Amino acid sequence: MRAVLIAVTAVVLLVAADAGAGPLDTPGYDKAFSCSACHGAAGNSRTDSMPILAGMSPAYFKKAIDDYASGRRPSPEMEPYSKMVRELGVDAVAAYFAAQRREPPAGKVDRTAATRGRAAAMQCAACHGETGKGDSAKAIPDISGQPVGYLRNQLILFKADRRSPGDEAVTKMKSVLKQIPDDTLADLAAYYSSLGR
């Protein structure tokens, strides 16, 4: 009888503990919560200019943090936060965002632009794949479903060699982008953003 009472008590305590757990109790949230000010709750950005971190590959997240912290990816806004993430534990923060369910970005996509972008995306598929999912083993990011404004801005920065200057991994991409008109970059952004909606 005593064993049954102990088992019942243990089950009641576990259920009560689960009932009191909320989204802020998710492992890693205590290290990642400051990112939500810009990147949204659970890394689901609600602005057109800020990337979605939810569901991001840990390898790519860690590379981005290292690039920001070292100045290889210049950003006066992100450099101090990336150094903070490294101090708090980049592995825990990367795992937290990787475990979050990605939600479609806010805002609408111009479907005509997305159709034009699909035709222009053949060059991008060599690295990012047919659906923009990237390759986590090579730290090539999943760009599908990212906000249109963010994608467009990043493409323009790459084209102008103001994004990750000197990064050998993106040299080929930059040379391809130099040949693409800015209007087409906007179409590419619309296309890849439309893939995650």
In a shared domain, residues 96 and 27: yes
Confidence (pLDDT) at 177 = 92
One domain, residues 97 and 112: no
Residues 96, 154, single domain; the answer is no
pTM of the model as a whole: 0.85
- Does residue 151 lie within any of the structural domains? yes
Whether the predicted pLDDT of 74 surpasses 70? yes
Report whether pLDDT(180) > 60: yes
pLDDT tens, position by position, 121-174: 998 999 999 899 999 898 899 999 999 999 999 999 999 998 887 788 788 889
Q: Does one domain contain both 42 and 70?
A: yes
Number of domains present in the structure of the chain: 2
Q: Which domain holds residue 92?
A: 22-103
Q: CB of 185 within 8 A of CB of 159?
A: yes
Shared domain check, 110 and 65: no
Residue 21's φ and ψ, nearest 5 degrees, are -85, 135
Judge whether 77 lies within some domain: yes
CA angle 182, 185, 188 (to 5 degrees): 160
Q: Is the pLDDT of residue 188 over 70?
A: yes
Asked if residue 124 belongs to a domain, the reply is: yes
In this prediction, residue 21 has a pLDDT band, given cuts at 50, 70 and 90, of: low
Where among 86, 103, 120 does a domain terminate?
103
Instruction: Please check whether residues 136 and 59 belong to one and the same domain.
Output: no
Residues 6+ apart with CB under 8 A from 157: 163
**Residues contacting 43, CB < 8 A, separation 6+:** 32, 35, 36, 52, 53, 54, 55, 56, 97, 100
Domain for residue 4, yes or no? no
Q: What is the pLDDT of residues 31-64, one digit of tens each?
A: 999 999 999 999 999 999 999 999 999 999 999 9
In this predicted structure, the answer to whether residue 184 has a pLDDT above a threshold of 60 is yes
The verdict on 78 and 161 lying in the same domain is: no
In this predicted structure, the answer to whether residue 103 has a pLDDT above a threshold of 90 is yes
The answer to whether residues 110 and 99 belong to one domain is: no
CATH number of 113's domain: 1.10.760.10
Residue at 8 is within a domain: no
**Are 81 and 122 found together in one domain?**
no
Position 193 in a domain: yes
- How far, rounded to the nearest angstrom, does the alpha carbon of residue 16 sit from its chain's CA centroid? 34
11 falls within a domain:
no
Do 31 and 97 belong together in one domain? yes
Q: Are residues 75 and 115 in the same domain?
A: no
More confident residue, 27 or 56: 56
The pLDDT mean for the chain works out to 88
The answer to whether residues 133 and 77 belong to one domain is no
Residue 16 lies in a domain: no
